[in-house]
Amino acid sequence: MASSSTAQRRLRVITGHLQKQPGDGHLSVAARECTAEASGSSPSRATPPEPVPRRRQEIMKWNGWGYNDSRFLYNKKGQAEFTGKRYRMSGLILPSLKDWMENTFGATLQHKSPATPSLDPSSVSPPNLNTLFLDDLIAAGLPTSHDPEDRVFRSHGHCLHEIFALREGKVGKVPDAVVWPSCHSDVEKIVELALKHNVCLIPFGGGTSVSSALECPLEETRSIVSLDTSQMNRILWIDEKNLTARVESGIIGQDLERQLNERGYCTGHEPDSMEFSSLGGWVATRASGMKKNIYGNIEDLIRPIPEYQKYGSVVFPSFQQGVACLREVARQRCAPASIRLMDNEQFQFGHALKPQVSSIFTSLLDGLKKFYITKFKGFDPHRLCVATLLFEGDRGKVLQHEKQVYDIAARFGGLAAGEDNGQRGYMLTFVIAYLRDLGMDYFVIGESFETSVPWDSDPVHVYEQVEHAAREEILANGGSLSHHHGVGKLRKQWMQESVSSVGLGMLRSVKDFLDPQNIFGNRNLL
């Protein structure tokens, strides 16, 4: 009986909510209490985070990136600055950004295209409500909304075309309602009711998708409900022997990391979006973070907090020498927690984001460093590139590891460029997304682009204006459809080429078996 019970439990995990009840053939689920389940593991004693507000638009932009109080702008003197108090860069003047933007893109401060400041509710189509479904949700004590602002906020991710349209005040198809479960059994109840009333559900985590995954399918005629997981934000238990944890899917990355740190652990998973993206989103996209070299991908977590952390940077005479160095680091299997190579254009961009120096001494020191690299060492400032480094682990091993990487870099003409540059370059990744909004204020557009390719193929050197052409080239050279952002709707046209018709058929079979009524009908991937 024990083995049979175990098999049934495993099967239920696989088949999820779609279990037919004996006799009636109906799909149903068994409710579970909204409490931590401790199976030989200790419940988390970390401080529970405050849930993300249901009205996220009160603290976050509805048509741009990040917090409402944080943004790049040009002040009355024409100087760039970053507002708010949340980041190390907040409140600082960036004296070089204006010139870089004008020289690189031909933008001018006189030619401005400001975003629509607030949503016009009349631009949002009336909701197609399934009243019986909503009545049942309310009877079950589940909070819902069909407010236009709540619906629009959950209708998009952060692809260029999504944000550009919202800045213009153009709203496409949006969910008809939003529901907020607070635990696993709430989700089971919502899915059961969606099956009963034939409602389409689109899960919503952090809303940071860059694959069009959150767009409502135009062909969907059923009522579409956004299932917002933000109130499911607890660590239920941590198994300290096996280094595993059970965590609710709606927890935001920064809250997860803080709670784990209080127990002496970390995820080691630091995507650029970790302030806003959710654990559920990471799992759904098979995410990789900035420190995947030693911590692995999302499925490899959790780990004890490292004893020692050290930043670093290396400057190379050319991008080709930098690539050769990183290839050798990979070949010797000695990559640090994070290693990122920036080409010269990225280097110039990073230099433009350097804050105004606070003292003559700092200015003089920066000048001496530049003189040493460009005049004494002969590096061409228009060709050099920089790698930023982050080492983590036991102190002795980190110092040994650091020496090994710098020795390899020296063989390819690299010069150590200091800890400050490495730390600054690493931290910049968390504010760079805000820059796209500044660019669009002055008719400059930008988009994220990611993939992975074998070392013997390097098909894309610069971002193409049309992603389609770049994707075709990457796939032709053995690259992947996505490295860590997922497929969504944006890239699903290449799925058959990527996994073959057989692979696609297998995925369709899994989908048909698990969700025959297409309740999760946002039409991503397939």
Q: Which residues are annotated as a binding site?
A: 203-209, 285-288, 436
Measured CA to CA, the distance from residue 337 to residue 294 in angstroms comes to 5
Question: If DSSP codes are grouped into helix, strand and coil, which group holds residue 265?
Answer: strand
Cβ-count burial 7-42 (b if 16+ within 10 Å, e if not): eeeeeeeeeebbeeeeeeeebebeeeeeebeeeebe
Residue from 260, 208, 198, 200 nearest 230 by CA: 208
Measured CA to CA, the distance from residue 374 to residue 132 in angstroms comes to 71
Q: Which residues are annotated as a binding site for FAD?
A: 203-209, 285-288
Measured CA to CA, the distance from residue 325 to residue 127 in angstroms comes to 56
Q: Which residues are annotated as a binding site for substrate?
A: 436
Q: What token pair was written down for 423? A: 């730390």
Give kind and range of the element (H or E) at residue 521: none
What's the half-sphere exposure (Cβ side, CA atoms, 13 Å) at 126?
Answer: 2
Q: State CA 236 to chain mean position distance.
A: 23
- Which residues, 6 or more positions from 50, have their beta carbon under 8 angstroms from its beta carbon? none
Cβ-count burial 251-283 (b if 16+ within 10 Å, e if not): bbbebbbebbeebebbbbbbbbbbbbbbbbbbe
| Cβ-based burial of 355 (10 A; exposed 0-12, middle 13-18, buried ≥19) | middle
DSSP assignment string, 172-195 = ----SEEE---SHHHHHHHHHHHH
Sign of CA dihedral 9, 14, 15, 17: positive
Spatial strand order in the sheet of 308-316: 338-342, 385-393, 308-316, 415-416
DSSP assignment string, 302-316 = -EEPPSEEEEEEEEE
Residues in the chain: 526
Q: State CA 31 to chain mean position distance.
A: 32
DSSP assignment string, 211-243 = SSTTSPPTT--S-EEEEE-TT---EEEEETTTT
Answer whether 389's CB lies under 8 Å from 339's CB. Answer: yes
Q: What token pair was written down for 413? A: 């003409």
Measured CA to CA, the distance from residue 323 to residue 288 in angstroms comes to 21
Measured CA to CA, the distance from residue 45 to residue 23 in angstroms comes to 44
Q: What token pair was written down for 417? A: 């460029």
